[in-house]
Each structure stands twice: as structure tokens, then as C-alpha cells.
Amino acid sequence: MPRTRAQFVLYDGFDPLDVIGPYEVLTAGSDLLHGTLEIELVTAEGPRTVTSGTPGIALTATGSLTPDRSGYVFLPGASGPAHDDTIPKLLAAFAGSAAAPLLQQCLDNPAMTVATNCGGSLALAMTGLIKGRSATTHVLGQESLAATGVNAVRARIVDDGDLVSAGGVTSGIDLGLYLLEREFGPRVARAIEDYFEHERRGTPWRDTGTELPIGA
């Protein structure tokens, strides 16, 4: 079976649980599939230790974000005090960083799927790269996401083809399981779900099926 690459993009102030949740799920899936998944922590600038927005937690990126390969790119949200503007500032700083043009290349690459968790979709939306696309984010960011021109959907997982997004921070586990199912089938996802003693909730949203009346 060909190897699939998953790149987790770190930046200053990232939310560690946004990363660790899906990272561990995909790692367990890779173990089950005898190393089919190649998983790496990366930054736009290259290898470095990256301080998260949660005090005392940092992760070390071992590579650079490479948008010209196939696979998945994961973009986490940021963490910080909920009562001030720390998180919006961190997301805006990322959107204005060297990562933005690389993420544009990721979205332009037909062999690449960009996956976001929590505020990751907001960071991406602030670059203007997903205007007109469908995505979700943390409940507190839904209005801000819609204000960027994104079709903000109140769902735990939103599948818009090469853009898959998840809601609040714990949704990252569901995101990892959903992508395992999408890539390798329900048997693999179910096995890892049991292993983590986790029960997914909600219905993944896709822009398909019967149209409902406005307000339904």
C-alpha cells in the first residue's frame, strides 16, 4: 500500500490539543496499517521548537511544510485566555506569515487535502484562501468565519472535498477518525475508535443531498 503523508503545521501560539488529538489517532492508524502513514510536525520556516499558546507546552517541528506532495496538511487553532483578544491576534499573525503562500499551494495541489481543527479554519479564512468554501470552527468563531465570506456550517465535521474542517478543540479526535475512514475505510476507523475508547458524535456535513427550506 502506498504511503500517505500527513503534515501538521505548527506556529507560535498553536493549540497543542488541536495537534495531539488527530496526531495520535493517525499514528495509531498507521501502526495498524503497518506504517502506511508518514506523519510529521512541520513549520513554514523549517525545523524548530515551537511554543504553544498553553503555558509550559512546546513541540519540535522536524521539517518544512512542503505543498508539492500528496497527502494531508493539518492546521490547528491557537490557544490562550478566552476573555481577551489573544487568540484572534495569534490567528491573524499566522495568516500574515510565510505560511500563507504555502497553504495557497497546498489548496492548489489536487493531490493534497487541507484539514483544520478549531480556529485553524479561521486562520485559513483570514488569508482569503477559502472564501466561498464551506467550513466549520469553534462555536465562538462561527460569526467571524462567516464574516470572511466562508459558508460557516455548524457541524462537528465539514467535508468540502480537499478542505475538511472540525469544530471545537476536542473535535480533532473525530477529525482524525473521519480522515482514516475516508482514506482507508470504516474498519480501520472503527478499530482506532475502539482503541481510544472514543465515540464519535454528529453527522459529517457535505454539500450534497436534498435541499431544505430556508430556516429548516
Detail the DSSP E strand segments found in 136-214.
151-152, 157-159, 163-166
Adjacent-strand bridge partners of 75:
116
Confidence of residue 185 (pLDDT cuts 50, 70, 90): very high
Confidence of residue 51 (pLDDT cuts 50, 70, 90): very high
Give me the mean pLDDT over the 133-157 stretch: 97
Query: Residue 122: pLDDT above 90?
Result: yes
Residue 82 pLDDT: 79
Whole-number percent of the chain with pLDDT over 70: 98
Assign 66 to helix, strand or coil.
Answer: coil
Query: Residue 57: pLDDT above 70?
Result: yes
d(CA 67, CA 71): 9
Spatial neighbors of 29 by CB under 8 A, at least 6 apart, are: 36, 37, 176, 180, 184, 188, 189, 192
Query: Residue 1: pLDDT above 90?
Result: no
Residue 213 pLDDT: 72
pLDDT tens digits, 59-85: 999 999 999 999 999 999 999 987 889
